[in-house]
Chains A and B, each alone.
Chain A
């Protein structure tokens, strides 16, 4: 089975099979039918011409016999033959008596001769002497029994007429006395039931060949060939179109001879065969009984079937045009299918090599376009999930880094109280050895303080890990109430730091839905943080407030403390991030705040104009919808 590699070639083959084959089949069949009927019609026309020629040639032969029979009934002819015979047998043709008879009968016999356009007219005695002729050629006065012309067609037809007592027609043959081809008719002359002589006439060449050489309806190459079968072929007995002086001079033994053989058997047929020039001809063969000839009416195939050739060419042209058109259309159709598929293929390869942005242009709404849409959708999906994956990977690595730092920080921060505790325990041991107890209580207090700090640190860590894992039930929260609570809680610190607090809340501030204790933690952390970093200032002031911004509730805690270098604005929310290691606190507060806000679907960030210029911590929480 043929394997077709490209889609286009498959489609082309399919098109050719689906369209050209039926067209080919139907046009070939209709061509065959048309060709058959056209050829049949042309052949039929030639057959009609051949039949018509046979009819004319045979009718002329019959007519010639009827003419001579009617002349033979003339009493003057009967008288003439008797008188000429007597004169001939008496004193010969040069005698006065013969001349007298000649003067008597010549005129009216010549009138017969001329009226029927004979080339000669003879009166022949019962003993076969030519006792009269109109033309007075060399045959006049000779004996057809024993004379030089005893084997001529004139002699033969005369003998046949006497033998059978009927008018007879001779074959056409070269006749020596006339130096031309000739045929004769003869009729016995009877008087009172007795044979008194024979009337014979000689037909003119033109009259004999008229019907044969008539090329009516035979075009430029058609002709009628007549001839008789002889040993070694057939002898042409009438002029040919293509060979001069062929009559009784040319003998052919070829294809044409076979047709003459058929014709002489009596077969009536037609066929295409090679004529005497070796050129294919359409020929019809017939038998001419009057002359015992075969006849072939023929015309060159090239001329006869010119219309058929034209039909063939037209058909071929239509076929070629149809196939070309189908090929063009199939190529176009194939392209509309294969081109987008090619693009798809290209885009898929890009996708494979990592270019997730590759998309294809789509025209139309067909199945290929739908496939394109599906491909583009798939590519978009892949791109999205790739992005998400990348982001997750980024975050994961950040967390990893954070975790590493956290581990370090935790171990460091936990180590330092342990070192303190270890150091003071050592000192206490030395003091106890030396029995100096006065510094022990103070050292124990130091140890307790370090242990407290450690416990605080561990508590905070525990708290941080709980957020998100353990949630209190959410409820509607009023920020004003929460701020009031928190300020109440840190009242001691505010007092101690002589911090002025400025709370600014719009009336009818909407509630948000959340974990009350957690949100309180956020506020507390931020406020404590602000106090911590602003107590160093001359006149520490805290601005606390909230407002609605779109779908968000935005809260802030602003101080006029030491401020934050812009490069640390992000970092301050990290675990154990303390801008100053000497700062009190565990360094977990802001991280905790961020975690809580994140869990609530909000956002927290810090703003600062720079070191010494105070800082603002802002968080937003989604409003209830």
Chain B
């Protein structure tokens, strides 16, 4: 009995060895192959460090904080889909404190100390001018989401906002034909309003319009009483507004206080977006490439996602849309170029196109700008824009308006820079 029991037991062991082991090996091999096939899905590499540089404090914070949020939202969405090149994206946020010098310091810190591979951020042109040499020095890319005065095409800055020919010139042309030929220019005293108004002045000269007055107020602590007084006095057909930041609220309140309504003298603003609208602005105009009210599938989806994440009080605006699309533009370029190095991303960016909430995004490689469709919106009582005009198609970016040669524009900029004591905005006077 014992012997036969042993034999049976031995047979079982043999059976296990003969069938079980190869079976196990076969199964293990299958699992290995499956894992190998799905290796791209396994995110185990170090994350890509993504810098976000905006004003979280100061006069620009109310404009820039929502941009930070939307960049984080895009990063989150990309991470949810498995990241980039098998790596997750890790945002690193820095505060420019509404001050161009701080922007420069923080940009360098992000690149050198935080070792970010790319930076999304910056709003004002003054800050952009201040960080431009930093990005060129370290050969990193800045994805810049705001419309600008042009006259610049750095190989290290991806200009996601409108160049002058995509916003200022067509909107002024529209205002000239629709609202009137006598214009009053008011703006913050820094590089964007100064340059924008120089372009408008030259455009009016070519068209035969008239600039009846021009006023600049300090970005940090503006006082619009002299400007309002000038406007009341000169009675323009239209006010061209290039004020940035919270100053817009003061300006419109002061304007209404002076008895000027949108019916008597309409305002065409270049930096008033959905999230800054106050009841005093109803009936006035703004020029952008994007409005939240844009009726496309991509935009409806985007706005719904944004409001789901940040609440119904959150608005999508042109810079917010550009910043959001900019992350996807970068991501697609990284995938196309196969690397996160600036020089490879630039290869990936070459003539890239992608759908975005603002419509098709075409990249123009030689000047690092994107194609844009100029639009004019009229502020309604719901605090949104009704689109009253749009160009028939997307416009090729052209940062250098033909009114001056590139050399002449360079001289113009240099004069301003030196005039401000080697700053890109007027020094703040203690009051």
A positions within 8 Å CB-CB of B? 22, 29, 51, 54-55, 58, 62, 65, 69, 163-167, 169, 187-188, 190, 193-195, 264-268, 286-287, 289-290, 292
Check B169 against A55 for contact (C-beta < 8 Å). Answer: no
Write the nearest CB–CB distance from A27 to chain B, whole angstroms: 13
B173 interface residue, CB < 8 Å from A? yes
Given the known inter-chain contacts A29-B33, A164-B173, A165-B203, please indicate yes or no for A289 contacting B353, CB distance below 8 A: yes
Q: Which residue of B lies closest to A47 (CB)?
A: B336
Give B145-182 interface residues, CB cut-off 8 Å to A.
165, 169-170, 173
A51 CA to B169 CA, complexed, in Å? 32
Q: B403 near A: Cβ within 8 Å?
A: yes
CB nearest to B177 among chain A residues: A163
A193: which of B202, B355, B359 is its contact (CB, 8 Å)? B202
Chain B 381-420 per-residue mask, 1 if CB under 8 angstroms from chain A, else 0:
0000000000001111010011100000000000000000
Q: Which residue of B lies closest to A266 (CB)?
A: B360
- Given the known interface contacts A165-B206, A195-B206, the answer about A268 and B354 at a Cβ–Cβ threshold of 8 Å is yes
Q: How far is the CA of A265 from the CA of B362 in the complex (A)?
A: 10
**Given the complex of chains A and B, what is the CA–CA distance between A352 and B255 in angstroms?**
124
Asked whether B221 is an interface residue with its Cβ less than 8 Å from the other chain, the reply is no
A163, B402: Cβ atoms closer than 8 Å: no
B357 to chain A, nearest CB (A): 12
Query: Can you list 22 contacts pairing A with B, beta carbon distance less than 8 Å?
Result: A54-B351, A58-B364, A62-B366, A69-B402, A164-B165, A164-B173, A164-B395, A165-B165, A165-B206, A165-B401, A166-B401, A166-B402, A169-B396, A190-B206, A193-B202, A193-B206, A266-B353, A266-B356, A268-B332, A268-B353, A268-B354, A286-B351
Task: Point out the residues of chain B lying under 8 angstroms from A167, CB to CB.
Answer: 402
Task: Verify A267–B202 contact, CB threshold 8 A.
Answer: no
Closest to B366 in A: A62
| Residue of A with least CB distance to B199 | A165
Closest to A264 in B: B360
| CB–CB A193/B360 < 8 A | no
Name the one of A62, A164, A265 contacting B360, with C-beta atoms under 8 angstroms.
A265
Interface residues on B, range: 35 or more
B350 within 8 A of A: yes
Contact of B398 among A51, A166, A267, A287 (CB under 8 A): A166
A166 to B170: give the CA distance in the assembly, Å: 11
Closest CB in chain A relative to B192 CB, distance in Å: 19
Does B360 lie within 8 Å of A190, measured CB to CB?
no
CB of A51 within 8 A of CB of B206, answer no
Tell me the minimal C-beta distance from B247 to chain A in angstroms.
29
Complex CA distance for A54 and B401, rounded to whole angstroms: 26
Q: Which residues does chain A contribute within 8 Å of B398, judged by CB atoms? A: 166
The 10 closest A-B pairs by CB, nearest first: A266-B360, A289-B362, A266-B353, A287-B353, A193-B205, A265-B355, A266-B355, A54-B351, A266-B354, A289-B371
A165: contacting residue among B332, B360, B402, CB under 8 A: B402
Main secondary structure of the interface of A (DSSP, over half): mixed
Q: Is the CB of B396 within 8 A of A290?
A: yes
User: Is B26 in contact with chain A by the CB < 8 A criterion?
Assistant: yes
Knowing A165-B206, A194-B206, A266-B361, the reply to whether A286 touches B353 (Cβ < 8 A) is yes
Assess the B351–A51 pair: CB atoms within 8 A. Answer: yes
Binding site for A on B (CB under 8 A): 26, 33, 165, 169-170, 173, 202-203, 205-207, 332, 336, 350-356, 359-362, 364-366, 371, 393-396, 398, 401-403
Do residues A287 and B362 form an inter-chain contact, with CB atoms below 8 A?
yes
Contacts of A265 in B (CB 8 A): 355, 360
A37 to chain B, nearest CB (A): 12
With A190-B403, A194-B205, A287-B360 given, is the CB distance from A268 to B173 under 8 Å? no
Query: Which residues does chain A contribute within 8 Å of B203, judged by CB atoms?
Result: 165
The residues of A that contact B352 with a CB separation of less than 8 Å are 268
Whether A164 contacts B170 in the complex (CB less than 8 A), given A190-B403, A193-B206, A194-B205, comes out as: yes
Q: Which residues of A contact B350 (CB under 8 A)?
A: 51, 55
Residue of A nearest to B202 (CB): A193
Residues of A within 8 A of B173 (CB): 163-164
Question: A22–B25 Cα gap in the complex (Å)?
Answer: 12
Nearest opposing residue in chain B for A58, CB measure: B351
Instruction: Report the minimal beta-carbon distance from B168 to chain A, rounded to whole angstroms.
Output: 11
B residues near A266, Cβ cutoff 8 Å: 353-356, 359-362
A265 nearest in chain B by CB position: B355
Who on chain B is nearest to A156 by CB? B392
B354 proximity list for chain A (CB < 8 A)? 266-268
Question: Smallest Cβ distance from A185 to chain B, in angstroms?
Answer: 12
| A165, B403: Cβ atoms closer than 8 Å | yes
**C-alpha gap A190/B401 in the complex (Å):** 12
Q: Which residue of B lies closest to A171 (CB)?
A: B393
User: CA separation between A613 and B195, bound complex, in Å?
Assistant: 166
Q: How far is the CA of A265 from the CA of B356 in the complex (A)?
A: 9
- Given the complex, which residues of A lie within 8 Å of B205, measured CB to CB? 193-194
Which of B26, B355, B365 sits near A267, CB closer than 8 Å? B355
A169 to B206, CA, bound (A): 21
Contacts of B356 in A (CB 8 A): 266
Whole-angstrom distance between the alpha carbons of A193 and B398 in the complex?
Answer: 18
Of listed B371, B396, B403, residue having the most chain A CB within 10 A:
B396
Query: Nearest Cβ in chain A — how far from B329, in angstroms?
Result: 10
Residues of B within 8 A of A268 (CB): 332, 336, 352-354
> How far, in angstroms, from A55 to B366 measured CA to CA in the complex?
11
**A22 with B353: CB separation less than 8 A:** no
State the Cβ distance, B241 to closest chain A Cβ, in Å.
Answer: 21
CB-defined contacts of A165 to chain B, threshold 8 Å: 165, 169, 203, 206, 401-403
What residues of chain B lie closer than 8 Å to A195, measured between beta carbons? 206-207
The docked-state distance in angstroms from the alpha carbon of A250 to that of B351 is 28
Least distance between B340 CB and chain A CB atoms (Å): 19
A51: chain B residues within 8 A (beta carbon):
350-351
In the complex, which residue of chain B has the Cβ closest to the Cβ of A72?
B402
| Known contacts A163-B170, A165-B402, A22 near B361 by CB under 8 Å | no
CB closest residue in chain A, given B398: A166
List chain B residues, Cβ under 8 A from A62: 364, 366
Least CB distance from B371 to A in Å reads: 5
Question: In the bound complex, what is the Cα–Cα distance between A29 and B165 (angstroms)?
Answer: 56
A163 to B359, alpha carbons, bound, how many Å? 23
Q: Which one of A69, A266, A286 has the highest number of Cβ atoms from chain B below 10 Å of its Cβ?
A: A266
Pair A188/B402 contact, Cβ less than 8 Å = yes
The residues of A that contact B336 with a CB separation of less than 8 Å are: 268
Name the distance in Å between A613's Cβ and chain B's nearest Cβ.
Answer: 72
Least CB distance from B346 to A in Å reads: 13
Distance to closest chain A CB from B138 (angstroms): 27
Query: Within 8 Å CB of B364, what residues of A?
Result: 58, 62, 289
Q: How far is the CB of B287 from chain A (nearest CB, A)?
A: 13
CA distance A54 to B393 in the complex (A): 19
User: Chain A residues with Cβ under 8 A from B359's Cβ?
Assistant: 266
Q: How far is the CA of A6 from the CA of B246 in the complex (A)?
A: 93
Inter-chain CA distance A284–B395, complex, in Å, is 25
Given contacts A266-B360, A266-B362, contact A166 B353 (CB under 8 A): no
B60 CB to closest chain A CB, in angstroms? 30
Quick one: which of B33, B362, B395 has the most chain A CB within 10 A? B362
Which of chain A's residues have a CB closer than 8 A to the CB of B403? 165, 190, 193
Contacts of A289 in B (CB 8 A): 353, 360, 362, 364, 371, 394, 396
Q: How far is the CA of A240 from the CA of B427 in the complex (A)?
A: 62
- Most chain A beta-carbon neighbours within 10 Å: one of B169, B336, B350, B353: B353
Return chain B residues, CB-CB under 8 Å to A55: 350-351, 365
The chain A residue with its CB closest to the CB of B370 is A289
Question: In the complex the two chains form, what is the Cα distance from A69 to B359 in whole Å?
Answer: 29
Q: How far is the CB of A289 from chain B (nearest CB, A)?
A: 4
- In the bound complex, residues from chain A placing their C-beta under 8 Å from that of B365 are 55, 58
Contact between A164 and B351, CB atoms less than 8 A apart: no
Given A58-B365, A165-B401, A267-B354, 15 more pairs with CB closer than 8 A: A58-B364, A62-B366, A165-B169, A166-B398, A166-B401, A169-B396, A193-B202, A194-B205, A266-B353, A266-B360, A286-B353, A287-B362, A289-B362, A289-B364, A289-B371
CB distance from B292 to the nearest CB of A (A): 20
